[in-house]
Amino acid sequence: MSEDKVLKINKIGDGIVIDHISPGVSLDVLEVLKITGKEGMTVSLLMNVQSGKVGTKDIIKIEKKKLAKKDLDKISLVSPNATINVISNYEIREKFTVEIPQIVTGVIRCSNQNCVTNSKEPVQTLFQKEKSGDGEVFRCHYCDRTMSLPEVRKSIIR
């Protein structure tokens, strides 16, 4: 099935389509967006649909939904190649690929239990993205602890 046909199956009037989600990861995306289905929004989920000649992907369509910067940051950590389509009046108004930001604030918890961000102090977490080998690590601004992307994924504030 072509990408066009997939997008046309049930077009949404206003909302967002999160496309090119890593296959099998769409439920994690919904979780970090705190979408449980009880909000009453129409949500369509496609898992492991064909993408291109070899790959597969997940797609989520959410009606009447807007994404905040923190939502986009969370999506980028869960599925770095996801693309966001902003739909209004049945047209794609905006389309972009998420990007893991250089500075990640207020989105992940530090894995160091003694970090000030895990105390009762009202301190928002702040991590700096750094290159490490062929991957990326995230360094806590407050305690210097570094976390790998898989660790970060488990520490997203839900």
Binding site for Zn ion (CB under 5 A): 110, 112, 115, 140, 142-143, 145
Whole-number minimum distance, CB 32 to Zn ion, in Å? 20
Nearer to Zn ion, 107 or 140 (CB): 140
Whole-number minimum distance, CB 67 to Zn ion, in Å? 27
Q: Is 151 helix (H, G, I), strand (E, B) or coil?
A: helix
146 contact partners, CB below 8 Å, separation of at least 6: 130, 132, 137, 138, 139, 140
Whole-number minimum distance, CB 60 to Zn ion, in Å? 31
CB atoms near residue 142 (< 10 Å): 18
Q: At which residue do the structure tokens 């739909």 appear?
A: 87
Q: What angle do CA 150, 152, 154 make, to 5 degrees?
A: 75
Nearer to Zn ion, 44 or 146 (CB): 146
Kindly state the DSSP code that residue 22 receives in the 8-state scheme: P
Nearer to Zn ion, 29 or 140 (CB): 140
Nearer to Zn ion, 86 or 123 (CB): 123
